[in-house]
Structure 1
């Protein structure tokens, strides 16, 4: 009797254990699948981000092309060259940019007192928490005074730590003010006993870039020996044109925004390009290459590189100039990879990929132990690679989507191991279960990927049809994936993503025209040819930057002649084949009141992608075929 009871208990125990193991294995598989989906979503975000940066590099070469070919079209528009590229702006008088702007009594925002003190840092933080706007007079004065101090600094700042004085390294912030507030809350404000290095990319993407820049500059002016600023690849007026900071300035400072942008060009150029901690840790924004020469970089006239994206012009180009320019691009744009060697950074279009052997070679050459860099979003906020010799630190949490990644910073002290601190700004979605956060990320990633797909519909359709020898309307998943990779140029796991993007029949074949289902580009005018609509949508960001550069008075208007002339240059440089008659017809249609001017900014806003779930099906929407 006792034996039977014991046997029953044993069987129940075994059953419970097996059930627990089954549940445990199911949960592990469930978590693994969610993590895989999260990884794929992040890969989509990052691939498209880098492809856009590659486009920005191409746009920069177009600006050089434009400046060399624009003289015979409109001589007066060479003001663009004088304002943005070649002018020696050190001659500007303080009166024109600061003292001539009065602060009215009605202004109720923060009022800074120069010379600045820690009280002004507190004042600024409290004002920005209340979403107040700092008056343009103070913005210009802060930038003017910061530039004055930066001009006295070397290209690389040397700092020392001690057991009682650690240094905190922060990576990209990208206009995400809440992350900076959280860092200061957790780690304390900058001071003589609490030094910081901010490793570039303070601006762009986020909506509070000017606030972050003001906090960092005011803190720098109060503690010039204890707060250090490195230049990032987004501290560049060409990048700001695409990624939002220029728009933010012109929106927040409608009257004096142009002056602020002009001073910013000089300010960026005087930012140091790196920091060396305890003579053994190199802190730069991007990375290195096999030809990185720190001795040469110490001697570079950094103030002459207003935008590192625009190569030296033919008139001032020589081998030494080209070499210095390329080395600065490497410092700001490069990324580490696990593969040995140094090869072009094809994803971003600038800088290089550098392997563990390159890291060892450069660190050994200059008696350094570690490279700390930023420039890449990491799910955990940081990543260690190259046998612990390279650390990536990224301080903007929720960078792509709420819940997409943590932010982090590093604390360094001589003779001790670096300490990492992670955080995440917590809004409503961050409290959601992992599955809901992954769903949100995945939906957002697939949405922007679909938009990239529809912008290349004509090219993709031709590629699909070339593979479809039987004219069945179907391809194997491998054939479909080949076409997607070949046309879009995005390094993505297309086979794994196929279930999110296309219909697959019971035999496992892709109905390739379903790649464009439930998505379309809205046309600004009914008469526009579908190929032209698609082309304008694909290049809308580039065109907006170009025409905003021409629109020097920021009126939002350009002439019909400028539209035609610039399109001719653009299509020639980008090898875009659109019939001139189509462009001329579109230009005339866009000039609604026949005054010879085009509201080009409003025109570009008409090119947006409509998704089925947005319920925006209007009569002037085309399915592009």
Structure 2
């Protein structure tokens, strides 16, 4: 006969409170409640998988893996823990690890068609990655840019969209304005012009260092934006309400232009067009989602293939590899997508010399990875990342980096915030996130930072605007369900 203790009863009550918070999408509060339940009774596997699901929603994939491990330590046959761990590894682009758990889930539930479909999709990705590696090993991979013959691509007479002058091979402001309107109308531009735009930016970025010095226009301002994640209509709303890029109004977009939102092609082609038009007034930094593994999972690869072709995606991939990793504004403000490093003493010169193009994809450690993936924490020192990649860094780490390099503050992005931005580390570390109502579900505001020539920072918040009825991650195949979308 099983005796139910007071602690077990209390733990169940707390777990039920956590479940209510989860249904209300109050994920941080739910995490706290599940943690309380675990303290009362640490021997229930489902408490850990419930908390893991919250961590998935909060993109804390490292924590979700740890909770899944704890659940399986209690009950090795608890299939839900394998599913949660597969979800977290998939979110991190660790497809082989995810496949191990999906194989277990499939075997234990052979009649579950959804589990089988996800297993098959993951297996297909793993096979493709292995095939691509084998090809690279056996022969030098030829650049897509080098294999493209743009002049041979014909533009049909029936095409009624904006055109690039094929003699000058230059764009002008009317072209960009027409491009934006065409995208608003949910129409594509011709593939020839899309290739020309991406090629122009690739060529420009290939010559740039990994860290770019930025100045504020003397007669205007510089606007720093965080993640926009393919939310084209919210992205364009930034320009409509805050001013379009121009010679007197510079913009710096701090990574994660694509994925999740299903208008990522429209966002990136608009940004690249403005970069081509105003190379010294539109700045782009690579985010952790400008990488192949993320694009396979979160929709950008599928979207590009649906709207254009696999060759177009491969060209985007090459171009993302060439994007700079960081910017410094007026020798005072360091701007990067994720954050700081696992060691002290990193200099701007070191960052500038990172061979990002040679490295290509960022890997799971090193300076490039940490710039794209790290997050601040309120505690001093460093700790393992909640995401499972990069690190978490405290106020002392921020201070050391700023002191080492003679800087005043850091602006980074990478994390959704309820009010669109958060100021931490005694005002020295600011997070700005520019995708309001993230994934159509979070309800957060977006934010941007306007910086004047005298280096005053003005924080502006904004709400989401209506968009066509296309759901987030529309092109993410089987994985949107796996990731709890």
Using the size of structure 2 for normalisation, the TM-score is: 0.71
Aligned match for 1:191, one of 221, 237, 246: 246
In structure 1, distance between residues paired with 2:342 and 2:244: 38
Give the SS at the match of 2:430: strand
In structure 1, distance between residues paired with 2:54 and 2:481: 21
In structure 2, distance between residues paired with 1:187 and 1:606: 33
Give the SS at the match of 1:93: helix
Structure 1 residues 80 and 155: CA distance shift in structure 2, 3 A: same
**8 Å Cα contact 2:217-2:249 kept in structure 1:** no
In structure 2, distance between residues paired with 1:199 and 1:401: 21
| Structure 1 partner of 2:272 | 217
| Structure 2 partner of 1:156 | 211
In structure 2, distance between residues paired with 1:118 and 1:183: 18
Residue 299 (structure 1) aligned with residue 334 (structure 2): no
Structure with bigger gyration radius = 1
| CA-to-aligned-CA distance 1:595-617 (integer Å, 9 cap, x gap) | xxxxxx8xx6999899xxxxxxx
The structural deviation recorded for 1:270 is: 0.6
| Structure 2 partner of 1:259 | 311
Which residues in structure 2 correspond to 1:580-619 (within 5 Å)? none
**8 Å Cα contact 2:144-2:314 kept in structure 1:** no
Structure 1 residues 418 and 86: CA distance shift in structure 2, 3 A: farther
Residue 378 (structure 1) aligned with residue 417 (structure 2): yes
Which residues in structure 2 correspond to 1:200-211 (within 5 Å)? 200-211=255-266
**8 Å Cα contact 1:204-1:234 kept in structure 2:** yes
In structure 2, distance between residues paired with 1:90 and 1:202: 23
**Structure 2: gaps of 5 or more residues:** 1-19, 32-52, 62-86, 101-122, 468-472
| Structure 2 partner of 1:272 | 324
| Structure 1 partner of 2:432 | 393
In structure 1, distance between residues paired with 2:360 and 2:322: 9
In structure 1, distance between residues paired with 2:233 and 2:377: 31
Give the SS at the match of 1:112: coil
Structure 1 residues 335 and 224: CA distance shift in structure 2, 3 A: same
The structural deviation recorded for 1:101 is: 2.5
**8 Å Cα contact 2:342-2:391 kept in structure 1:** no
| Structure 2 partner of 1:339 | 379
Using the size of structure 1 for normalisation, the TM-score is: 0.56
Structure 1 residues 367 and 129: CA distance shift in structure 2, 3 A: same
| Structure 1 partner of 2:105 | none
Which residues in structure 2 correspond to 1:404-415 (within 5 Å)? 404-415=443-454
| CA-to-aligned-CA distance 1:575-621 (integer Å, 9 cap, x gap) | xxxxxxxxxxxxxxxxxxxxxxxxxx8xx6999899xxxxxxxxxxx
Aligned match for 1:40, one of 27, 34, 59: 27
The structural deviation recorded for 1:85 is: 12
| CA-to-aligned-CA distance 1:375-394 (integer Å, 9 cap, x gap) | 00001011100000000000
The structural deviation recorded for 1:106 is: 2.1
| Structure 1 partner of 2:295 | 240
Residue 50 (structure 1) aligned with residue 90 (structure 2): no
| Structure 2 partner of 1:480 | none
Structure 1 residues 606 and 245: CA distance shift in structure 2, 3 A: closer
The structural deviation recorded for 1:157 is: 1.1
| CA-to-aligned-CA distance 1:118-177 (integer Å, 9 cap, x gap) | 111101111111111122211111111111111121111111225523100010000000
**8 Å Cα contact 1:380-1:406 kept in structure 2:** yes
Give the SS at the match of 2:179: helix
**8 Å Cα contact 2:56-2:483 kept in structure 1:** no
In structure 1, distance between residues paired with 2:129 and 2:440: 44
Structure 1 residues 81 and 230: CA distance shift in structure 2, 3 A: farther
**Structure 1: gaps of 5 or more residues:** 1-32, 312-324, 429-540, 546-600, 611-625
The structural deviation recorded for 1:305 is: 2.5
Which residues in structure 2 correspond to 1:275-290 (within 5 Å)? 275-290=327-342
| Structure 2 partner of 1:82 | 135
| Structure 2 partner of 1:128 | 183
What is the CA RMSD across the aligned residues, in angstroms?
3.6
**8 Å Cα contact 2:93-2:297 kept in structure 1:** no
The structural deviation recorded for 1:295 is: 2.2
Give the SS at the match of 1:154: coil
| Structure 2 partner of 1:556 | none
Which residues in structure 2 correspond to 1:436-585 (within 5 Å)? none
In structure 1, distance between residues paired with 2:293 and 2:432: 24
In structure 2, distance between residues paired with 1:148 and 1:184: 26
Structure 1 residues 356 and 87: CA distance shift in structure 2, 3 A: farther
The structural deviation recorded for 1:209 is: 0.4
In structure 2, distance between residues paired with 1:75 and 1:200: 27
The structural deviation recorded for 1:289 is: 1.9
| CA-to-aligned-CA distance 1:357-387 (integer Å, 9 cap, x gap) | 0000101100011100000000101110000
The structural deviation recorded for 1:41 is: 7.0
The structural deviation recorded for 1:326 is: 1.0
